[in-house]
């Protein structure tokens, strides 16, 4: 069976916070943030908007693009490190809001690689014939776990959500190969502390990511016996433009073939890949039959990549 993405959606909070705004709260500057990370601004959700609200709106968009009703969904998987509360899951909250009464629901915890883990989990349920349609969402309100006095992390993150409906697609299309991985020995480099704040050893995570993201990108293409320049579009986790460029350069593809939403949205953890993907689809940057690679990494440490032929 060929299993792929039937529709995508994303949600962005309206509140824009620029690098200059951050200069007023921590000792930083626009030039440092832009040159070290590629970020110019990010969106932050207001007090009354929680992770599930953003997930819900992204899911509605994906259902609409897939031309499916909420009742058609058999399983909801929400990748998040910022659930409204530890339970019930964000997936259960949006199951009710959407009216997806036939869907099982659970959250997936794999940090910034969460959407990749969700996507591949969805594929397994469909491959076995157990389910037909799985809704996979990446949603994060990172602003609620950001230490706003720590300049080494607070300039990096933003809020938002992205979603995809996964199901059967036509011959030759859909997910062609994947790679998932984890290294729990690296847990200490990126985690949530007892005060509910993100703690990150930026240099160590950078060293890991700048090797892993290009490796995984190339691995999923080589599994197919294809050449790197067969890739039409790359959607990497939007963590740092320098890490993203390392993956793009290893593939040897031109700049216009890589999603670059980091400038406007910062790092949205599990939401960054589906947000960038949905935006690229809406902007017409991804066309039918394009070979695309999604690749991410994050706390855990975790990583994942998928090569897929776009289209229904």
Residues that bind ligand UT7 (CB under 6 A): 28, 32, 36-37, 112, 151-152, 155, 202-203, 205-206, 209, 239-240, 267, 269, 298
Give the C-alpha distances (Å, rounded to integers) separating 95 from 47, 65, 280: 22, 18, 26
Shortest-Cβ-distance residue relative to ligand UT7: 202
- Provide the minimum distance between the beta carbon of 174 and ligand UT7 in the complex, in angstroms, as a whole number: 27
Nearer to ligand UT7, 78 or 94 (CB): 78
Q: Kindly state the DSSP code that residue 258 receives in the 8-state scheme.
A: B
Nearer to ligand UT7, 95 or 240 (CB): 240
Q: How big is the chain by its Cα radius of gyration, in Å? A: 18
User: CB 286 → ligand UT7: shortest distance, Å?
Assistant: 23
Least distance to ligand UT7, CB of residue 157, Å: 8
Q: In this structure, are residues 178 and 305 in contact, taking their beta carbons and an 8 Å threshold?
A: yes
Q: How many Å apart are CA 189 and CA 14, to the nearest integer? A: 31
Q: Which of 19, 84, 240, 267 is catalytic?
A: 267
Q: Beta strands 134-140 and 160-168: pairing type?
A: antiparallel
Identify which of 213, 274, 278, 294 has the alpha carbon closest to the alpha carbon of residue 246. Answer: 213
Judged by beta carbon, residue 134 or residue 243, the one nearer ligand UT7 is 243
Contact between 135 and 77 under an 8 Å Cβ cutoff? The reply is yes
Active site residue 194: no
Task: Give the active site residue among 154, 237, 240, 268.
Answer: 237
| Residue 15 known to be catalytic | no
Q: Is the peptide bond before 243 cis (omega within 30 degrees of 0)?
A: no
Min dist. Cβ of residue 15 to ligand UT7 (A): 20
Give yes or no: 133 in active site. Answer: no
SS3 content of the chain, % helix, strand, coil (to 5): 40, 25, 35
* Residue 54 to residues 125, 202, 258, Cα–Cα distance (Å): 25, 27, 25
Nearer to ligand UT7, 51 or 240 (CB): 240
In the complex, what is the shortest distance from the CB of residue 217 to ligand UT7, in angstroms, rounded to a whole number? 15
| Residue of 112, 133, 154, 268 marked active site | 112
Q: Please identify, using beta-carbon distances, which residue of 173 and 237 lies nearer to ligand UT7.
A: 237
Catalytic residues: 112, 237, 267
């Amino acid at each position: 069976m060929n299993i792929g993405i039937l529709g995508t959606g994303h949600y962005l909070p309206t509140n824009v916070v620029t690098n200059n705004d951050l200069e007023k709260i921590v000792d930083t500057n626009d030039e440092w943030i832009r040159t070290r990370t590629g970020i110019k601004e990010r969106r932050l959700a207001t007090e009354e908007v929680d992770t599930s609200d953003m997930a819900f709106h992204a899911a509605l968009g994906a259902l609409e693009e897939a031309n499916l009703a909420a009742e058609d969904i058999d399983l909801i998987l929400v990748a998040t490190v910022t659930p409204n509360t530890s339970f019930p899951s964000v997936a259960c909250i949006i199951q009710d809001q959407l009216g997806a009464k036939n869907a099982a629901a659970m959250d997936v915890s794999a940090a910034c690689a969460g959407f990749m883990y969700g996507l591949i989990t969805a594929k397994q349920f469909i491959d076995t014939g157990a389910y037909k349609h799985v809704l996979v969402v990446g949603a994060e309100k990172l602003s609620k776990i950001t230490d706003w006095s720590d300049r080494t992390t607070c300039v990096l993150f933003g809020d938002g959500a992205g979603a995809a409906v996964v199901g059967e697609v036509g011959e030759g299309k859909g997910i062609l190969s994947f790679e998932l991985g984890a290294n729990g020995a690296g847990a200490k480099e990126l985690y949530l502390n007892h005060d509910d704040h993100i703690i990150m050893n930026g240099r160590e995570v950078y060293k890991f990511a700048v090797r892993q993201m290009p490796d995984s990108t190339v691995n999923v293409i080589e599994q197919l016996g294809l050449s790197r320049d067969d890739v039409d579009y790359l959607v990497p986790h939007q963590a740092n433009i320098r890490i993203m460029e390392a993956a793009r350069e290893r593939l040897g593809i031109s700049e216009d073939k890589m999603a670059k939403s980091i400038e406007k949205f910062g790092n949205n953890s599990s939401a960054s890949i589906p947000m960038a993907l949905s935006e690229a689809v809406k902007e017409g940057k991804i066309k039918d039959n394009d070979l695309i690679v999604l690749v991410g990494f994050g706390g855990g440490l975790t990583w994942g990549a998928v090569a897929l032929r776009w289209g229904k």
